[in-house]
């Protein structure tokens, strides 16, 4: 009967039927085809329009930074799409099911960090005209720091960011097709993302991200409405979840997210991700101007606040419908197949694929940019523009293969979000220190930056293995470990800098903070309309963030 095909199972009944119907499959295929064609066609037209208008860019700048011509809506949506990944649907819902809405800390903290980024960090990045953040370190410090950080970026791209995104997609595929090996699922998802990344570069990625962010957000709205309708009332949600799962601020002895960890860990991880990670910052490096970079970042901040309702609360609501799921990371596909009709399921699955591929394509472009600009161009400066682009494409394929091989190993962690936050807590604090302290103080030397990176990061990796992987239970809460690592990094930076000679002024003059910058900008902003004044919009974003945190504290 038609009703048997079009209507979902009753919520809370037997195990959902995870069969992908013909209509679902048609929607998914149509999406996959269109989402690969549209970005390439649109990018081609944009390039022709730019040439017709007399704007010429280097082939490498066009491929890796889209000609530095992105308007703020594209910057903002691309930032969100890159961040959403498969971990948004799968990881946030699973994490919320297991530990409650407290995982929203990573989202609301992002809004605060993006404000810090556009006020104090982004201006220096755009002033330096760099392709990559390792290149920025060479301008601020020296080539040693550039190479050390470039190497870490490649490691993080392949073993943390891309592997996690592919694993999240494989979790969904495993639910739908249990007999398909995870390695096969990962490989297929990776190839889907690689198609337009290899061909079109960042220009195609930005356009694709904008489309996919929109689709993903629509998918989140649909799942939220369907889940709440299945639960029936807010009281049923709070009763099933309990007081602790419905609180953003948890006790200091909480094993998952103790409140001091918001400062010692969540803030540190967020500063790395939003201000020093090539994967994310590359979107703002391609902005048409500083204003477009700032407005796009603010748009991303407002959308991040909506994640509480679109991706986290459905995971908490699921406690009232499925109180005894064995694997938290299967919450999202269970909601989709149990609560949504055929056809709509296909749209949501397309949104998941959008989230996964948008992150993977961004990571691939980031990795290829670093390999090309930080290694190939640095070691072989005479390489032609065409040769640089070819090197980037080869690097994309290699990074893809490595991530495909590593992704299945993530399964040993309880949840995807636990893997991401734990490993970052041990590895990124020295990066945050080197960038931010280097911008804040002209006294920090090149030797101090290099030593901090090459000493503290390997120690962090060793500590991660010894405290999180080897023992049956972690021997230190990872958010506290991040704070300890940051403190060690700052001490090393300061002490080594004081003991050595002062840096050359040519390395610090334009790339360290001065009060004059603020005074000059204040004068320039007089008379600027309210809607265009990034400072006023930033205040609105911070007040909105504070309101949500207080409401759910």
Residue with more model confidence, 2 or 59: 59
* Spatial separation of the C-alpha atoms in residues 456 and 437, rounded to whole Å: 16
Taking the CA atoms of residue 4, residue 7, residue 8 and residue 12 in that order, the dihedral angle to the nearest 10 degrees is -90
DSSP state of 265: I
48: its two tokens? 């022709």
Q: What is the pLDDT of residue 537?
A: 95
Domains of the chain: 60-163+226-344+412-552 (1.20.1730.10)
Q: What is the pLDDT of residue 285?
A: 84
Would the pLDDT of 115 be above 90?
A: yes
| Percent of the residues in the chain that have a pLDDT greater than 70, as a whole number | 83
Q: What is the pLDDT of residue 59?
A: 57
Q: What is the pLDDT of residue 436?
A: 95
Task: State the chain's mean pLDDT as an integer.
Answer: 81
* Spatial separation of the C-alpha atoms in residues 243 and 262, rounded to whole Å: 19
**C-alpha distances out from residue 523 to 112, 516, 520, Å:** 25, 11, 5
DSSP state of 310: I
* Spatial separation of the C-alpha atoms in residues 294 and 538, rounded to whole Å: 10
Q: What is the pLDDT of residue 553?
A: 79
Tell me: the pLDDT tens digits for 167-215? 777 776 776 677 777 778 777 777 776 665 555 556 667 777 788 788 8
Q: What is the pLDDT of residue 487?
A: 96
Output the pTM of the full model.
0.83
Q: Looking at 72-81, 83-92, 135-144, 509-518, which range is the least confident one?
A: 83-92
Tell me: the pLDDT tens digits for 515-536? 888 888 888 888 888 888 999 9
Please check whether residue 329 is in contact with residue 171, taking contact to mean a CB–CB distance below 8 angstroms.
Answer: yes
Those residues whose C-beta lies under 8 Å from the C-beta of residue 539, and which sit 6 or more positions away, are none
Tell me: the pLDDT tens digits for 316-350? 999 988 888 877 877 888 888 888 888 888 888 77
Question: Chain centroid to CA 12: how far?
Answer: 33
Q: Looking at 202-211, 369-378, 489-498, which range is the least confident one?
A: 202-211
Q: What is the pLDDT of residue 185?
A: 78
Q: What is the pLDDT of residue 439?
A: 93
Taking the CA atoms of residue 186, residue 188, residue 192 and residue 194 in that order, the dihedral angle to the nearest 10 degrees is 70
**C-alpha distances out from residue 538 to 251, 262, 283, 547, 548, Å:** 30, 21, 19, 14, 16
Q: What is the pLDDT of residue 540?
A: 96
Q: What is the pLDDT of residue 448?
A: 96
Would the pLDDT of 543 be above 50?
A: yes
Please check whether residue 208 is in contact with residue 364, taking contact to mean a CB–CB distance below 8 angstroms.
Answer: no
* Spatial separation of the C-alpha atoms in residues 411 and 498, rounded to whole Å: 45
Would the pLDDT of 13 be above 50?
A: no
Q: What is the pLDDT of residue 299?
A: 95
Would the pLDDT of 512 be above 60?
A: yes
Tell me: the pLDDT tens digits for 420-476? 678 889 999 999 999 999 999 999 999 999 999 999 999 999 998 898 878 877 788
* Spatial separation of the C-alpha atoms in residues 323 and 331, rounded to whole Å: 11
Please check whether residue 201 is in contact with residue 63, taking contact to mean a CB–CB distance below 8 angstroms.
Answer: yes
Tell me: the pLDDT tens digits for 473-490? 778 888 999 999 999 999
Q: What is the pLDDT of residue 9?
A: 42
Can you tell me the mean pLDDT for 113-132? 90
Q: What is the pLDDT of residue 143?
A: 92
Please check whether residue 216 is in contact with residue 85, taking contact to mean a CB–CB distance below 8 angstroms.
Answer: no
Can you tell me the mean pLDDT for 216-238? 88
Annotate 237-262 with b (16+ C-beta within 10 A) or e (fewer): beebbeeebbbbebeeebebbbbebb
Give Rg (Cα) of the chain.
23
CA-based nearest residue to 363, from 411, 429, 426, 407: 407
Q: What is the pLDDT of residue 141?
A: 93
Confidence of residue 145 (pLDDT cuts 50, 70, 90): very high
Q: What is the pLDDT of residue 415?
A: 57
Angle (deg, nearest 10), helices 290-307 and 278-285: 130
* Spatial separation of the C-alpha atoms in residues 39 and 549, rounded to whole Å: 37
DSSP state of 104: G
Sign of the alpha-carbon torsion through 49, 52, 53, 59: positive
Can you tell me the mean pLDDT for 58-67? 56
Would the pLDDT of 54 be above 60?
A: no
* Spatial separation of the C-alpha atoms in residues 358 and 208, rounded to whole Å: 7
Sign of the alpha-carbon torsion through 394, 398, 399, 401: positive
Q: What is the pLDDT of residue 242?
A: 83
């Amino acid at each position: 009967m038609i009703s048997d095909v079009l209507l979902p199972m009753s919520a809370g009944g037997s195990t959902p039927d995870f069969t992908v119907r013909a209509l679902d499959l048609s929607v998914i295929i149509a999406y996959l085809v269109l989402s690969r064609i549209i970005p390439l066609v649109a990018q081609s037209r944009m390039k022709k329009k730019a040439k017709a208008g007399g704007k010429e860019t280097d082939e490498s700048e066009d491929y890796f930074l889209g000609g530095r011509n992105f308007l703020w809506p594209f910057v903002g949506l691309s930032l969100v799409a890159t961040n959403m990944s498969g971990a948004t649907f799968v990881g946030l819902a699973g994490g919320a099911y297991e530990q409650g809405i407290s995982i929203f800390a990573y989202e609301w903290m992002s809004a605060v960090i993006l404000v810090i980024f556009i006020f104090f960090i982004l201006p220096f990045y755009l002033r330096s005209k760099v392709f990559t953040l390792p290149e920025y370190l060479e301008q601020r410090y020296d080539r040693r720091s550039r190479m050390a950080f470039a190497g870490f970026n490649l490691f993080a791209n392949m073993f943390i960011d891309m592997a996690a995104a592919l694993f999240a997609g494989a979790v969904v595929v495993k639910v739908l097709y249990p007999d398909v090996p995870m390695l096969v699922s990962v490989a297929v998802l990776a190839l889907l993302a690689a198609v337009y990344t290899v061909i079109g570069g960042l220009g195609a990625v930005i356009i694709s991200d904008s489309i996919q962010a929109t689709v993903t957000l629509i998918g989140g709205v649909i799942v939220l409405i369907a889940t709440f309708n299945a639960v029936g009332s807010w009281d049923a949600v709070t009763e099933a979840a309990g007081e602790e799962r419905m609180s953003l601020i948890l006790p200091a002895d909480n094993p998952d997210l103790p409140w001091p960890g918001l400062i010692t860990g969540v803030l540190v991880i967020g500063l790395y991700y939003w201000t020093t990670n090539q994967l994310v910052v590359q979107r703002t490096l391609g902005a048409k101007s500083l204003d477009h970079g700032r407005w796009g970042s603010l748009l991303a901040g407002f959308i991040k606040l909506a994640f509480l309702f679109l991706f986290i609360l459905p995971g908490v609501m699921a406690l009232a419908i499925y109180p005894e799921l064995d694997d938290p990371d299967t919450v999202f596909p269970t909601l989709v197949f149990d609560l949504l009709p055929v056809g709509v399921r296909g749209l949501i699955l397309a949104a998941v694929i959008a989230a996964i591929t948008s992150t993977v394509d961004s990571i691939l472009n980031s990795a290829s940019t670093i390999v090309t600009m930080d290694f190939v161009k640095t070691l072989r400066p005479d390489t032609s523009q065409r040769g640089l682009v070819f090197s980037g494409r080869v690097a994309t394929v290699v990074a893809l293969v490595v991530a495909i091989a590593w992704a299945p190993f993530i399964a040993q962690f309880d949840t995807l979000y636990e893997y991401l936050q734990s490993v970052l807590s041990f590895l990124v604090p020295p990066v945050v220190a080197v960038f931010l302290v280097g911008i804040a103080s002209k006294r920090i030397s090149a030797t101090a930056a290099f030593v901090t990176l090459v000493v503290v990061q390997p120690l962090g990796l060793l500590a991660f293995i010894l405290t999180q992987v080897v023992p049956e239970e972690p021997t230190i809460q990872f958010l506290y470990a991040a704070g300890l690592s940051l403190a060690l990094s700052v001490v090393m930076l300061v002490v080594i800098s004081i003991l050595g000679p002062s840096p050359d002024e040519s390395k610090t003059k334009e790339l360290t903070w001065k009060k004059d910058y603020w005074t000059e900008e204040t004068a320039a902003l007089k008379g600027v309309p309210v809607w265009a004044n990034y400072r006023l919009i930033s205040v609105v974003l911070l007040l909105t963030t504070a309101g949500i945190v207080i409401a759910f504290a």
